[in-house]
Structure formats: C-alpha cells, structure tokens
C-alpha cells in the first residue's frame, strides 16, 4: 500500500507541472489540421500525466524468477503476443491497462538492473528492425539507451555501435548500458560521440541494420516546458529538425551495406518530422526502397492505436486513454 501511495504521489507531482499554453496553442493548430478528430482524444492524454502508462521491459541478463509473478499480481500482461513477424522469446515486456508506474530502480555500479521502465511504443522500432545474432548494428542516436538495451534483449550483434553526440546524453547512455549489460557482452559494444551526420562518411557500408531514433519535437515533454521563453525557443528549433533528420537519414543509408535495413523513429506527431522526411528520402535516394511493416502493426493493434491512412512502410502510434502509448512514428527502409 505504501509503495502504491508513493507511486500515486509521484504521479500527482507530475500533474502539478503547468501545461505551457504557448506550446499547446501551437499543437492545437497544427494537430487539428493534421490529425482531425483524433487530436481531441490524443490531446486529453498528452495534457494529463495521471493517465500515462509505463511498460516494464525485463532484463534477460538479470531476471529474478519472482519478478514476472509480481507483475502478474499487479495486473500486468505481456505487451507483445500473437503472430508478430519478429518477436524473440527473450524480449519480455509487460504492460497493464491502468495508469501508474512500477517503482524505478536506482543505478548501482557493478549491479545489473532487473527491468527498464519505458513507453511501450518505443519498442516498435526495435521489433521493426528485426536484429539477428551476428549482425553488425548501428544505433545512430542511442541515448538514453532504452532501444539499445532492447536490441540486446533480442539478439547478440556481431558489432554493436551505440552513438550519441550530446555530452550529457552520452553519460546517460553509458550509465544505462552499465546498468543492464554484463561485462563479457559490454566489451563488444562500441560507444562513440560522433556527429551522426558524418558517420556514413566515416563508416561507409559497415552495418547490416541501422536505427535512427532521431532528435525531434518531444510532444509529451514540450507541453510542460518550464517557461515561455524556453517554449518559444523550442518552437523555433522545431522548424530546423526536418533538415537535421534528413541529414541523419542520408548518413545512416551510407553506413548501411547493400541489402541492409534502416528504421527511422521519432516521438512526435508532427508530419513535417515524420512522413514528410521519409517521403523526401524516398524521392531523392534511388538506392533505398520502403519496407512493409503493416503486418507488425496489425499484430499489435490490440494494445496500440494507430493513425489511419499511413503508408505500408510507416506507422504512427496515437496515445489514448487505456492505451496511452506514443506518440511514436516508425518507418522502415531497405538499401538496394
């Protein structure tokens, strides 16, 4: 009871954060035009942290037997079931319908964490990438490290390169890897601080799989910008993201071997940063083609709500009450 009270109080603390009216007004205008009627239900979730949900990704390298039982008792069930095109048995993620958060574990040097708390939709890019044992993998914008950890739950890459250009986020990434990955495996991971736009030239055609979880407008956090000045700066910066995202995609494509796959993802609803970016790449790069991920979307449609009318190579997760996952945009490409 005390634990649930702490969790409830912590969640209430989040609600006390003020919604930034400047950002909300901007979103209201843009997303009413882009999402139509769907924006009303999405807005209700994004502006109310009390209804946000958190998934529990188990760490196969440090998993006590009683943890899954404890999750079942608290009403959690597996997030991914059924005929998914690529669902490794070693990837175990639990969710529940009710909002709230399982207690977080603190970082302790030399001790592995048992689970990672995350937005369940952020695992969809990992499932779409379909990493296999022995493949050379690049996580181009890897911090805070949740998707890197998830990929290592799925398979043992031959060469696993995690890159992050921002100093603060790089420290966060390193701490995440230390918290979840044991020593023998950690030695096989390369962590770098390179400009993602240059990796393609530095490491051409070196990887079988590339994940670009691109810097983007983070709709959830931006709605709670701490002051108006910060919010205005963010909205100005927002216009610059598509150019950066295209540059990162071009770099990731260069880093891919012919026949390799690339997954692009963001945590924004913005069409300019999602389908517009992918369409520009498909129209300007003759050596890439779209890959159909509609079967994956269909297989997880019980737990996730998707925007209708997207193309077969992309999906956009829309948060709604009881399924408050996302926003998460995912698109998959293959290099010819």
Task: Tell me the binding residues for S-adenosyl-L-methionine.
Answer: 141-147, 164, 195, 213
65 half-sphere exposure, CB direction, 13 A CA radius? 0
CA–CA gap between residue 200 and residue 197 (Å, rounded): 7
Q: Is 308 exposed, middle or buried (0-12, 13-18, 19+ CB in 10 A)?
A: exposed
- Per DSSP, the residues of 268-286 read ---GGGTHHHHHHHHHH-T
CA–CA gap between residue 60 and residue 115 (Å, rounded): 9
Annotated binding site: 141-147, 164, 195, 213
Annotated catalytic residue, options 93, 162, 267, 285 = 267
Active site residue 267: yes
CA–CA gap between residue 304 and residue 95 (Å, rounded): 11
For 5-12, the CB contacts below 8 A with 24+ separation are 6/103, 7/100, 7/101, 7/102, 7/103, 8/100, 10/101, 11/49, 11/50, 11/52, 11/99, 11/100, 11/101, 12/50
Q: Is 249 exposed, middle or buried (0-12, 13-18, 19+ CB in 10 A)?
A: buried
CA distances from 47 to 25, 120, 278, 320 (A): 12, 19, 28, 11
Those residues with Cβ within 8 angstroms of residue 48's Cβ, 6 or more apart along the chain or in another chain = 15
Which candidate, 221, 222, 242, places its Cα nearest to that of 233?
222
CA–CA gap between residue 207 and residue 195 (Å, rounded): 17
172 beta partners = none
Which residue bears the tokens 């770098």? 192
Say if residues 216 and 268 touch (Cβ distance below 8 Å).
yes
Q: Which two tokens stand for residue 193?
A: 């601080």
Catalytic residue annotation? 267
């Amino acid at each position: 009871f005390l634990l649930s009270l702490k969790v409830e109080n912590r969640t209430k603390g989040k609600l006390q954060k003020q919604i930034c009216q400047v950002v909300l007004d901007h979103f209201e205008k843009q997303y009413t035009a882009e999402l139509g009627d769907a924006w009303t239900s999405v807005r209700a979730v994004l502006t109310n942290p009390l209804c946000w949900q958190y998934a529990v990704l188990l760490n196969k390298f440090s998993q006590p037997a009683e943890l899954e039982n404890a999750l079942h008792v608290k009403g959690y069930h597996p997030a991914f079931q059924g005929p998914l095109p690529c669902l490794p048995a070693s990837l175990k993620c639990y969710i529940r319908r009710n909002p709230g958060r399982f207690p977080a574990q603190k970082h302790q040097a030399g001790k592995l964490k048992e689970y990672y708390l995350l937005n369940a939709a952020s695992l969809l890019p990992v499932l779409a990438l379909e990493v296999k044992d022995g493949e050379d993998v690049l996580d181009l914008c890897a911090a805070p490290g949740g998707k890197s950890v998830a990929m290592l739950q799925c398979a043992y890459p031959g060469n696993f390169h995690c890159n992050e250009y921002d100093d603060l986020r790089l420290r966060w990434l390193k701490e995440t890897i230390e918290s979840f990955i044991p020593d023998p495996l950690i030695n096989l991971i390369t962590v770098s601080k390179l400009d993602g736009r240059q990796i393609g030239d530095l490491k051409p055609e070196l990887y079988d799989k590339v994940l670009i979880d691109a810097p983007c407008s983070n709709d959830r956090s931006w709605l709670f910008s701490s002051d108006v000045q910060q919010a205005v700066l963010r909205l100005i910066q927002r216009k610059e993201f598509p150019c950066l995202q295209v540059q990162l995609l071009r770099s990731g494509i260069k880093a891919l071997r012919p026949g390799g796959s690339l997954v692009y993802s963001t945590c924004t609803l913005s069409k300019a940063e999602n389908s517009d970016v992918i369409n520009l790449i498909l129209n300007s790069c003759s050596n890439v083609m779209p890959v159909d991920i509609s079967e994956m979307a269909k297989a997880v449609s019980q737990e996730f709500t998707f925007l209708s009318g997207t193309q077969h190579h992309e999906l956009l997760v829309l948060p709604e009450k009881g399924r408050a996952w996302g926003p998460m945009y995912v698109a998959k490409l293959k290099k010819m």
